[in-house]
Amino acid sequence: DAGVTQSPTHLIKTRGQQVTLRCSPKSGHDTVSWYQQALGQGPQFIFQYYEEEERQRGNFPDRFSGHQFPNYSSELNVNALLLGDSALYLCASSRFPDEAFFGQGTRLTVV
């Protein structure tokens, strides 16, 4: 079992550009949640996908959007990147009521 895999592991983008991050959940998991972790902070919830729909959303602007595919994998898209979007982006997969497992994250740097 490969666990939760995220790609890419590192990414450098320029302000104003758009980025897509990808997540493949652990086998048997149907729910994917995305978190943003700035340096020195705890992870902050962005949104959660279940049955290909956004079920819950944290306090993030509409520049952050996502998608879940029929195979439960998910994408996080960020438009019009700002310097403040530089962070570690974590994907967590789960199947309620079991625990969530995190991927290794994508480290995004916006310059």
Residue in 13, 20, 45, 67 binding another protein, rule: CB under 8 A: 45
Distance in Å from the first CA to the final CA of the chain: 36
Residue 102 touches another protein, criterion: CB under 8 A: yes
What does the alpha-carbon distance between residue 30 and residue 32 come to, in Å, rounded to a whole number?
7
Interface of this chain with another protein, residues 13 to 32, rule: CB under 8 A: 31
What does the alpha-carbon distance between residue 65 and residue 71 come to, in Å, rounded to a whole number?
19
Residue 105 touches another protein, criterion: CB under 8 A: yes
What does the alpha-carbon distance between residue 24 and residue 93 come to, in Å, rounded to a whole number?
8
Contact 77, 66 (CB under 8 A): yes
Residue 66 touches another protein, criterion: CB under 8 A: no
Number of residues that bind another protein (CB under 8 A): 27
Residue 50 touches another protein, criterion: CB under 8 A: yes
Residue 96 touches another protein, criterion: CB under 8 A: yes
Residue 56 touches another protein, criterion: CB under 8 A: yes
Q: How many helices (H) and strands (E) does the chain have?
A: 0, 11
User: Which residues lie near another protein (CB under 8 A)?
Assistant: 31, 33, 35, 40-45, 48, 50, 55-56, 58, 88, 90, 92, 94, 96-97, 99-100, 102-105, 107
